[in-house]
Structure 1
Amino acid sequence: MEKWHLMATVVLIGLTVRWTVSLNSYSGPGDHDLSRRQTLDHLSHQDAPKMYSNGEDDKLRNDCILGIEGRTEPVPQGAGKPPMFGDYEAQRHWQEITFNLPVEQWYFNSSDNNLQYWGLDYPPLTAYHSLLCAYVAKFINPDWIALHSSRGYESQAHKLFMRTTVLIADLLIYIPAVVLYCCCLKEISTKKKIANALCILLYPGLILIDYGHFQYNSVSLGFALWGVLGVSCDWDLLGSLAFCLAINYKQMELYHSLPFFCFLLGKCFKKGLKGKGFVLLIKLACTVVASFILCWLPFFTEREQLLQVLRRLFPVDRGLFEDKVANIWCSFSIFLKIKDILPRHIQIVISFCFTFLSLLPACIKLTLQPSPKGFRFTLVSCALSFFLFSFQVHEKSILLVSLPVCLVLSEIPFMSTWFLLVSTFSMLPLLLKDELLMPSVVTTMAFFIACAVSFSIFEKTSEEELQLKSFSISVRKYLPCFTFLPRIIQYLFLISVISMVLLTLITVTLEPPQKLPDLFSVLVCFVSCLNFLFFLVYFNIIIMWDSKNGRNQKKIN
């Protein structure tokens, strides 16, 4: 009984931190071209469908975001700042659109739905969620979702309502999954399970984006975590259903799709494709197809409907990357402007090849040797490969890597804590735009202290604790003197933390040179990218040199 009292306390602490962060300012998309945005905002609704059709709305929006067509003095966007107001307004606007327009118009440009103004670009489940919130908003105050006139609506009552919708989604989907996952961990004490739940719930990246910047990432990540629980506990059909819901809420959950596919396929191979394995394969296929049909049913009426939704979900016209993101393409553009040199279709091919090749070894091993532990680590590796190398990555996509890293926190606490600190730091330019510096510092420190105290992370740096013993033994066959790996990792951690602290202080206190206004943001992304490349190598080493003995056999039952 004591365990549940302690777990309830942990949940209350997590909720308190979330609500405290929600009292701060909310999002803006960044420094955009003001004159261009004002032009878009003041376009007559009659002209909108004529001017922005056949994908031109995506291209023009991208040009505005990146400042391609001539950038004026940057004007911050966010709470109370027209003409776009920020992601908070995007979520409110989707409630307005889904409530007032028929479903067949949700993704199309029209006089009532100017896609240039935060057009819906997530899968149907997000739209249904917006519609559900809109019904509640209509009951409280119809002005919040009034067609056209509610654009840019902001008030304390509405802020309270919007923040509450995020908290309720967290309570219903993400937090129960975290608690159940930690309770199902094997070979660790009850206190460690509770400590693990506390650290996961205090992860600052997700809290700052959902409760500060304002999004609903906990919904898709929560569904994905339910999927992990399902397939790890041999509830394969329920796990598949949960993960399909995650994909149908946010298309970026495709980052996790290959590990799910390979793990379940490996299970089918293990059971035998001429017997139980084949039956399981058919059941899984039917579950996936049925769940997608149910989510997409209103959009199957016409072929153009389906194609338009897909165009909105995968806007390749927006380019290789947007804004400053800590991946390979943005970092490499410091030295070579790939976006300007290579045609877009070549960029897509190169991006696909790098992504596919970087995740292939881990996926092959998971298919041939399916295990819950291998599944969790492959989730990390594949999501990180997608973040580093795939096409059209946003800075917030690092949350898709952070979730599976949270799942291995009890197994490799030192490296997981380090990664989660870097992932939060990588979003620093975005968080500063949203005026979330103080919440970022406080939540990051709280998370670090919780991990350090709960897991004694600085005592967990031996080869065995880092799960590098098998790798080290293999290397020592050729280099007998290779005994200093833990010390190297400790030094790298120290360098990484010092660089993150210094860059944060420099970014906050100094003005960048006039000729290089994005200098500090670029440095943050570049340093973060170097860290992520190191982690990609590290996690792939764990996967490929997976030891089958001792503490490495921790599994979810």
Structure 2
Amino acid sequence: MGRVRADPDRFTVTKDALLPGVFFALLVRWCVASYPYSGYKKPPMYGDYEAQRHWQEITVHTPAATWYFNTTQNDLQYWGLDYPPLTAYHSLLMGKVADWIDPESVRLFASRGYENESHKTFMRWTVFLSDVYFYVSAVLVICIDAERVKSKEVVNVFKRTDLSTILFLLYPGLILIDHGHFQYNCVSLGLFLWATFYIIAIENDVLATIFFVLALNYKQMELYHALPFFFYLLRKIFIDLPHRGRTAHLVHRFNKLAISVIATFIIIWYPFFGSWENIFQLIRRLFPLNRGVFEDKVSNVWCVVNVFIKLKTYYSNEEMAKTCLITTASAALPSCIDLFFRMNRKKFVLCLINVSLAFFLFSFQVHEKTILLAAIPVAIHFPEDPFMCFWFLLVSTFSMLPLLLKDGLLLPFIATNIIYVSFYSITLKLAMPNAGFFTFFNAKKVYKAVQPEKMESSVLLKLLSVNFVVSVLGMIVLTAASVYVAPPPQFPDLFPLLISVYSCSHFLLFFFYFYYTQFHLPTCLPTTVKVKK
């Protein structure tokens, strides 16, 4: 964990490429935003776009205490609020602006299904600006810090600020969901990245705690990341305690974090403290058990099991919820325990990956889009293991293909993936000037360029390369089949199901791989240097 000062000549930030790269990533977002969104011209419920617009309508015209209740002015059956208060406040802010620009877009009851083109532009801008403010800013500071921290032996091209930032920002999954399908995952994930930054770079536990609580209060799915934060911060309380006044220092550290959590929650939840019923109703809206273990065809274990055993036929929602809780805890806790007893910041990122994957694969009420909660920690880990992380991020985007096809986003799906693969290949070309454009298929060459210590078994690396090629070809075939081949009438969901099973098999392999990586990572990391600018 210790760092020493390095030779300044080894630290070069290519600012000339950084700014155009960021602008290009933003341009890709805006191009995707020109395509249809979730529920476009699909009454009566439309889709996620309408949900976000409706929340603006409700928060602008009704008291905060009634936002989560079924009333004459708030029909919970029509896109009732089911995210924490910070999402509601964000909707209120945007709704106030919408009410000023175009009052018809948020008029109570009368605005349902409002699809004015100028309003679509306004809504797209709200996502774009939220993305820049929360997510892009967090990616920049994380990537800048990654370049400042370097190994004495190897200069990793994937830690260059310009390259790492652009690769991070060009990840297709988040672009397609937020700027295509239409959501604000960039806010909660941006807050999560800021919390992570304060742990892996600044080591400010109080700010990390506050930002994570903010992320959790924007989307409850941030619980996927809660356990690694809890175990890491809990372990930090016991580190380097002085012999004199040991108990007092321990209590002081614990109190700082506890006060940070409680104070942040109180500030955010204050408008709902009128009665216990308000609190309980909000919690019921955040964690509904009546929706079932999964929705649509999602690439997790329960969807695959459901192919052979119809879960709803044999198990009630309550029984499935208990089963999911036990299974998820069993899958996640070994990673957390390892982090607690052999803690370092690289293990923290790997723990984020493993726990979020455990939640995605085994937890209750999983959506296709929640794979983003595992994908973003993988993007953080990308410079440490580019081959496997690149593969994972491709599969994570592919796993959402049925949802994207439903929204009419096939062309953006293909284009963003081609852009991402191309830029990754260009990055490898910079690391290996004599390599070909398709070097990313060759695991041996990738590891030789950025992780020579993984060159121990060329046979395993060749096998890995073959599996990667087969995996990519399988994704291409399934994509083409989903678009051009009509499924049998008796199996209308054949291709979404095949995509789910195919992607789940990958996620299980990645789950074991990243677990292996975490457990084989030593507690004491190699000496690193941190260059001060």
TM-score by shorter chain over 0.5: yes
Distance 1:409 1:442, change over 3 A: same
Q: Which runs of 5+ in 2 are unaligned?
A: 1-11, 151-155, 430-439
- Contact kept, 8 Å, 1:192 with 1:454, in 2: the verdict is no
Does 2:309 align with 1:309? Answer: no
User: Aligned letter for 2:231?
Assistant: C
CA distance in 2, matches of 1:465, 1:251: 39
- Contact kept, 8 Å, 1:503 with 1:524, in 2: the verdict is yes
Does 2:118 align with 1:157? Answer: yes
Shift of 1:488: 2.1
- Contact kept, 8 Å, 1:266 with 1:369, in 2: the verdict is no
Q: 1:197 aligns with which of 165, 169, 173?
A: 165
- Contact kept, 8 Å, 2:443 with 2:465, in 1: the verdict is no
- Contact kept, 8 Å, 2:327 with 2:362, in 1: the verdict is yes
More displaced 10-residue stretch of structure 1: 540-549 or 366-375:
540-549
Distance 1:16 1:118, change over 3 A: same
User: Aligned letter for 1:16?
Assistant: L
CA distance in 1, matches of 2:16, 2:226: 36
User: Aligned letter for 2:239?
Assistant: K
CA distance in 2, matches of 1:14, 1:316: 38
Shift of 1:3: 3.7
Match for residue 230 of structure 1?
Answer: 198
Match for residue 215 of structure 1?
Answer: 183
CA distance in 1, matches of 2:348, 2:486: 45
Does 2:225 align with 1:256? Answer: yes
Does 2:102 align with 1:102? Answer: no
- Contact kept, 8 Å, 1:270 with 1:277, in 2: the verdict is no
C-alpha RMSD of matched pairs (Å): 2.3
Match for residue 485 of structure 1?
Answer: 460
Match for residue 499 of structure 1?
Answer: 474
- Contact kept, 8 Å, 2:443 with 2:462, in 1: the verdict is no
- Contact kept, 8 Å, 1:123 with 1:249, in 2: the verdict is yes
The superposition leaves residues 475-526 of structure 1 with CA deviations (integer Å, 9 ceiling, x where unpaired) of xxxxxxx763222221221121111110000000011000000000000000
More displaced 10-residue stretch of structure 1: 171-180 or 447-456:
447-456
CA distance in 1, matches of 2:276, 2:99: 32
CA distance in 2, matches of 1:234, 1:151: 46
Q: 2:215 aligns with which of 235, 240, 246?
A: 246
Q: 1:433 aligns with which of 389, 398, 406?
A: 406
Match for residue 46 of structure 1?
Answer: none
Does 2:141 align with 1:180? Answer: yes
Shift of 1:345: 2.2
CA distance in 1, matches of 2:157, 2:387: 18
User: Aligned letter for 2:319?
Assistant: I
CA distance in 2, matches of 1:535, 1:17: 28
More displaced 10-residue stretch of structure 1: 275-284 or 79-88:
275-284
Distance 1:7 1:467, change over 3 A: closer
User: Aligned letter for 2:326?
Assistant: C
Does 2:42 align with 1:22? Answer: no
Aligned pair count reads 498
CA distance in 2, matches of 1:554, 1:519: 52
Shift of 1:460: 5.0
The superposition leaves residues 349-376 of structure 1 with CA deviations (integer Å, 9 ceiling, x where unpaired) of 2111111111111100111122111111
Match for residue 338 of structure 2?
Answer: 365
Distance 1:243 1:465, change over 3 A: farther
User: Aligned letter for 1:494?
Assistant: V
Does 2:308 align with 1:340? Answer: no
Distance 1:305 1:410, change over 3 A: same
Shift of 1:548: 6.1
- Contact kept, 8 Å, 1:95 with 1:133, in 2: the verdict is yes
Q: Which runs of 5+ in 1 are unaligned?
A: 28-77, 474-481
CA distance in 2, matches of 1:2, 1:24: 35
* Identical counterparts, % of pairs: 45
More displaced 10-residue stretch of structure 1: 187-196 or 176-185:
187-196
For residues 500-539 of structure 1, the aligned pairs below 5 Å read 500-539=475-514
Q: 2:328 aligns with which of 355, 368, 386?
A: 355
CA distance in 2, matches of 1:200, 1:209: 15
The superposition leaves residues 435-461 of structure 1 with CA deviations (integer Å, 9 ceiling, x where unpaired) of 000000000111111112214545654
TM-score, length-scaled by structure 1 = 0.85
User: Aligned letter for 2:184?
Assistant: Y
Query: Highest relative contact order (Cα 8 Å, sep 6+), 1 or 2?
Result: 2
- Contact kept, 8 Å, 1:414 with 1:461, in 2: the verdict is no
Shift of 1:271: 3.0
CA distance in 1, matches of 2:331, 2:167: 29
User: Aligned letter for 1:207?
Assistant: I
Secondary structure of the structure 1 residue equivalent to 2:194:
helix
Shift of 1:192: 2.2
Shift of 1:554: 8.8
Distance 1:458 1:499, change over 3 A: closer
CA distance in 1, matches of 2:395, 2:496: 14
For residues 2-21 of structure 1, the aligned pairs below 5 Å read 3-21=14-32
Distance 1:415 1:191, change over 3 A: closer
Shift of 1:275: 5.3
Shift of 1:265: 1.1
Shift of 1:336: 1.1
Match for residue 83 of structure 1?
Answer: 44
